[in-house]
Structure 1
Amino acid sequence: MKEKSLGSAILQGKCPRCREGNIFPTSIFSYDKLTEVRHKCPHCEAVLTPEPDFFYGAMYISYAFSVALVINVLIILNYFFDDPEMWVYGVTVVVTNLILLPVMLRYSKVLYLYGVGKLKFDPKYTKA
């Protein structure tokens, strides 16, 4: 079996240790069970939530995603739509935030788990 790359595992929301088990019980793009993270990896049994409030730190990453989204929306609206009225900015930011909510929320948790979590890739778990 071919080993998954780090980037591919992060994009697919896979376990940091085996890069095969899903971190979330639903699709990364689903609005269902937005905040739920599996306690253990279904493939290698690695503990994905080392302490009860572990993912509170992911809020900082989620905040950075939201700020980047707002800045990009403002630049795009200003550049392509010749400085529309202020309500257009507000509505566009709220709508795009609601549409991208599951992606931003879940990827912030994935990045936090990969960055701060103590799990490191171990090839012996990919063949289990």
Structure 2
Amino acid sequence: MAPIASNTSALLALRCPRCHEGKIFTSRALSFKFADMPEVCPVCGQPTEPEPGFYYGAMFVSYAFSVAIFAVTAVALYFLAGDPAIWVYVVVVGLMAMLFTPLSVRYSRMLMLYLFGGVNYQPNWVRYEPRAQRPAPASLGV
């Protein structure tokens, strides 16, 4: 598979920021494990979590996505449904928030990784080879 040339296209395709080939998420968005990520990119070996707790900042980005979903849904209901009763707003906005949660979480993590992960696209990266299992160290007999 050829790498994606642009950073924006690679981010939208949920690909590794270093090689633009490896998939960052291990499962589909419509599964219960929509936020599972491998420890390293399966293609180039780039760590997907640069430091412990790195994705706590993604909560703020996800919050911004949720506010946008709420606002767009409420405005659409107001104009398209003729300002329905308040319970309609609550139900529809709640359903839309639940439907878009997997996408919100995934893209907030990708934005964090691309903007603050300290990794740039390297078209000439070296192919990743997983380390061979090392034998356990022999115990020191005293």
TM-score when scaled to structure 1? 0.91
CA distance in 2, matches of 1:3, 1:88: 42
Structure with more helix by fraction = 1
Q: Partner of 1:20: helix, strand, or coil? A: coil
Tell me the number of residue pairs that the alignment of Structure 1 and Structure 2 aligns.
126
Alignment correspondent of 1:70: 70
Query: How far off its partner does 1:3 sit?
Result: 4.3
Worse-superposed segment, 39-48 or 3-12: 3-12
Moved over 4 A (4+): none
| Cα RMSD, aligned residues only | 1.5
**1:80 corresponds to which letter in structure 2?**
L
CA distance in 2, matches of 1:31, 1:23: 15
**2:119 corresponds to which letter in structure 1?**
L
CA distance in 1, matches of 2:86, 2:42: 48
Percent pairwise identity? 38
Work out which structure has the larger RCO, using CA pairs closer than 8 Å and 6 or more positions apart in sequence. Answer: 1
Alignment correspondent of 1:10: 11
**1:38 corresponds to which letter in structure 2?**
P
CA distance in 2, matches of 1:12, 1:3: 9
Alignment correspondent of 1:32: 32
CA distance in 2, matches of 1:115, 1:3: 17
Gap runs ≥5 in structure 1: none
Query: How far off its partner does 1:11 sit?
Result: 1.0
